A and B are shown apart, each in its own frame.
Chain A
Amino acid sequence: MPNLSWCWTHRPIVNLLSKLKQRTYQIAIISVILAIILGFWKPHVLVEGIQRACLYAVIALPMALILGIVGIINLAHGEYMMLGAYFAYFLNVYTGMDPLLAIFPALLAFFLIGIVSYKAIIKYVLDAPELNQLLLTFGLAMVIEQLANLFWTSRPIKLPLKYVSASATIGSFTFGTYEFAYIAAAIIVLAGLLLFLKRTSTGQAALAVGQNPRGAKLVGIHVDRTYLFIFSLSIALVGAIGAIFMTRHSIFPLVGAPFTMKSFCLIAMAGIGNLMEILWCSLILGLAENFVLSFRGYAGWADILFFALIVLVIMVRSHQRQVK
């Protein structure tokens, strides 16, 4: 009997590859279309939406790194960002350092904090059921929040910085230009992570660990050290982002919590392990939120948009899974 199996293996592979490509393109196309529509209808929303989107993206990327490689979800993610913001604030108060410059000491400081967190706490639940990881990081988030509340009270604080209110005018349209820092940050972090993961040996080792920890160990990759490094890198990034965040927003102990949820929403939309898609999904979220915000009476509803999005994503995903 002639062996025809090879042609069945080839065609579906080709089909599936194009389907995968389509999905990334689908999300990108949706966001670009939304952007164009908004560009003509409400240009403010477009510009601010993109800026906001990049803020979300740059916060979500480190969480995606931990989730994809170490395999745990860090519910205390937003709280580390909050700590980074306070770090930059106090650095400014005691040394006069500009918060944007504080990114660099923040990177170092929070890398160390990440190491400590991992060794003291996170390491112990890596092998435990997912439940324990969720509960532990939830407890950790609460502890960090309450410690912040205890030391610094819930009073919002803000730094008056002059360059933050810079703006530009195109035609009759004025917009803030400082927020483009978020866009720069998003591009730098995304590009940096992608380059790191795909071009450096440490990064490739990390990818291998993320896909198959046991296999990676067999090949001689030091799994625990990889987890330690990636976790600390993620915390370092979030801390540094906190410093940037500090410049533009007033901060208080609970400021980070919503970002944990929104980051997870973005990661769920993009799919675990897809860093590029996070940018596009952030665009959709950022534009949508700002769009709702632009309507006077409905501003309060913008906050729950991400919730609607994540429920939608889950419903679609589970339907797909059922069919498969």
Chain B
Amino acid sequence: MRISKYLLYVAILIILLTLPFYTGVYLLNVMDIILIYIAMALSWDMLLRSGQISFGVAGLFGVGGYAAVLLNLNTGMNPLICIVMGGLAAGILAWLVGIAVLQLRGMYFAIVTLALAEIFRVIIRNLPDLTGGPEGTILPSAIFAGNSARTYWLAIAVAVVSVIASELFRRTRIHFALTSIRNDEIVAKSSGIDVFKYLVFIFVITSAIQGMTGGAYAHIYGFVSPEGSFSVDFTLLPIAMALLGGMHSTWGPVVGAVVLGVISEFLKLQIPYGHLLVYGLIIVITILFFPQGILGTIGQRLKNRRLRGSP
């Protein structure tokens, strides 16, 4: 059973990797966005597993984008390294915010993260010499000179990193720690878990992934701006995707990202202005009716059928 599962994964991976050889630029661009959102939805979910919500995904995303672009412009470093540096910058910021704020959790933490995107946007807008101010900064050329195959493989790399991170979080002791903290912090503490340290750690790692993703996005599209890079899209969509697909899992956010990514392409063509509304509605509807998302509900139905089947 396990071997065939791995073979399936390998087959899918091969198909994905060789996509540029038999599809056109449009599909590759759509895939780029979906892969980016996979990374974002996964990283948001990883923090959710500890019981904390971050509404600041867009903030860390934008910071990573700016860091990656500015570093490249000012030092000429290889864009790939700059993207990783973008992740590092976001991670460091998350560490600073985390150690200040994660002693009080729940809604205090959530609302602080809600303000993050706005804060970073204001700071960047007010340092025009460094950041290009309200109009943003343009890169002389997108990464790989806009070669869509290479760009696509970059996006795959980013998504793969987040999938690996998510699986690591599920298979190592981190999974036990997260589940325990989420369930009951006092019991977790009494089991020897240093709750604060774990929460800061998870916040930093997931923020670093979001920053790295932001860096990749910035280099793929070749520009950053206070409005564009910190757009509420980058917070709203990952949340809707993770909730829709099924939280607390690796494949849930992936499924959610694919489904919503495809839908959003259609929506953008049909309703140019209202598509964000759909994501908000998805969040409201899933919380009210399907808190476990697509995968969770399917999993529950299968479990019920199995239980009913056994005498």
A residues touching B (Cβ–Cβ < 8 Å)?
A: 73, 75, 121, 124-125, 128, 130-132, 134-136, 138-143, 145-147, 149-150, 258, 260-261, 264-265, 268, 300-301, 303-304, 306-307, 310-311, 314-315, 317-319, 321-322
B287 contacts A150, C-beta separation under 8 Å? no
Inter-chain contact B273/A149, CB cutoff 8 Å: yes
Q: Which residues of B contact A150 (CB under 8 A)?
A: 273-274, 277
Which of A128, A261, A318 touches B115 (beta carbons < 8 Å)? A261
14 contacts between A and B (CB under 8 A): A125-B288, A134-B110, A135-B287, A139-B280, A145-B280, A264-B111, A265-B111, A304-B123, A306-B115, A307-B112, A307-B118, A310-B111, A311-B112, A314-B104
B106 cross-chain contacts in A, Cβ below 8 A = 130
A-B CB proximity, top 7 nearest: A139-B283, A318-B103, A142-B280, A146-B277, A143-B280, A139-B284, A300-B126
Contact call A303/B280, Cβ cutoff below 8 A:
no
Check A138–B274 contact: CB distance below 8 A.
no
Please give the residue numbers on chain B whose beta carbons come within 8 Å of chain A beta carbons, in ascending order: 48, 51, 53, 55, 97, 100-101, 103-104, 106-108, 110-112, 114-115, 118-119, 122-123, 125-126, 232, 236, 239-240, 243, 273-274, 276-277, 279-284, 287-288, 291
- Please pick, from A139, A304, A317, A321, the residue contacting B281 in the complex, using a CB distance under 8 A: A139
B287 contacts A132, C-beta separation under 8 Å = yes
7 new A-B contacts at CB < 8 Å, known A131-B48, A139-B283, A149-B276: A124-B288, A134-B110, A140-B280, A142-B279, A260-B114, A303-B118, A315-B100
Inter-chain CB contacts under 8 Å: number? 115
Give the docked Cα–Cα distance between A58 and B185 (Å).
36
Chain B contacts for A265, CB-based, 8 A? 111
A119 to chain B, nearest CB (A): 13
Closest residue of A by beta carbon distance from B111: A264
Q: How far is the CA of A317 from the CA of B109 in the complex (A)?
A: 13
Smallest CB gap from A143: residue in B:
B280
List of B residues within 8 angstroms of A125 by Cβ:
287-288
Shortest distance in angstroms between A302's beta carbon and chain B's nearest beta carbon?
9
**B107 touches which one: A128, A134, A307, A322 (CB < 8 A)?**
A134
Give every chain A residue within 8 A of B239 (Cβ-Cβ): 135, 138
Residues of A within 8 A of B284 (CB): 121, 136, 139-140, 143
Give the complex CA separation of A317 and B103 in angstroms.
9
Q: Do the beta carbons of A121 and B48 come within 8 Å of each other?
A: no
A contact residues around B240 at 8 Å (CB): 139
* A16 CB, nearest partner CB in chain B, Å: 22
Beta-carbon nearest neighbor of B240 in chain A: A139
Given the known inter-chain contacts A142-B236, A150-B277, A311-B100, please indicate yes or no for A135 contacting B283, CB distance below 8 A.
Answer: yes
Contact of A261 among B114, B280, B282 (CB under 8 A): B114
Cross-chain contact A142 with B112 (CB below 8 angstroms): no
Q: In whole Å, how far is B127's beta carbon from the nearest beta carbon of chain A? A: 10
Of B112, B114, B118, B276, which is within 8 A of A314 by CB?
B112
Q: How far is the CB of B243 from chain A (nearest CB, A)?
A: 7
Known: A130-B107, A261-B111, A300-B122. A146 touches B53 (CB 8 A): no
* Chain B residue, CB-CB nearest to A141: B280
A304 to B240, CA, bound (A): 27
Contacts of B279 in A (CB 8 A): 142
B104, B119, B277, B280: the one contacting A307 at CB < 8 Å is B119
Residue numbers in B under 8 Å from A124 (CB-CB)? 288
Nearest Cβ in chain B — how far from A134, in angstroms? 5
Q: Contacts A135-B287, A264-B111: A142 and B104 contacting too (C-beta < 8 A)?
A: no
**CA separation between A67 and B102, bound complex, in Å?**
21
Q: With both chains docked as a complex, state the minimum distance between the C-beta of B171 and any C-beta of chain A, in angstroms.
A: 24
- CB <8 Å contact, A147 and B107: no
| Chain A residues with CB under 8 A of B103 | 314-315, 318-319, 321-322
Q: Given A149-B273, A150-B277: A311 and B101 within 8 A (CB)?
A: yes
Residues from chain A with Cβ under 8 Å of B104 in the complex: 314, 317-318, 321
- CB <8 Å contact, B122 and A136: no
What are the residues of chain A within 8 A of B119 when measuring CB–CB? 304, 307
Nearest chain A CB to B287's CB is how many angstroms away?
Answer: 4
- Nearest Cβ in chain B — how far from A104, in angstroms? 31
CB < 8 Å neighbour of A146 from B280, B288, B291: B280
Decide if A301 touches B122 in the complex (CB within 8 Å).
yes
Chain A residues closer than 8 Å to B281, beta-carbon distance: 139, 143
Contact check, A314 vs B101: say whether CB atoms are below 8 A apart: yes
Contacts of B112 in A (CB 8 A): 307, 310-311, 314
By a CB distance below 8 angstroms, the chain A residues around B273 are: 149-150
The minimal Cβ–Cβ distance linking B135 to chain A, given in whole angstroms, is 15
Residues of B with C-beta under 8 A to A136: 283-284, 287-288
Which residues of chain B have C-beta atoms less than 8 A from A315's C-beta?
100-101, 103
A134 touches B53 (CB 8 A): yes
Contact between B277 and A258 (Cβ–Cβ < 8 Å)? no
CB-CB nearest in chain B for A302: B122
- A268 contacts B283, CB within 8 Å? no
| Given contacts A135-B287, A314-B112, A146 and B276 within 8 Å (CB-CB) | yes
Output the least CB separation between A117 and chain B (Å): 11
Shortest A172–chain B CB gap in Å is 32
Inter-chain contacts of B282 with A (CB < 8 A):
139
Q: Chain A's nearest CB lies how many Å from the CB of B54?
A: 11
**Which of chain B's residues have a CB closer than 8 A to the CB of A134?**
53, 107, 110
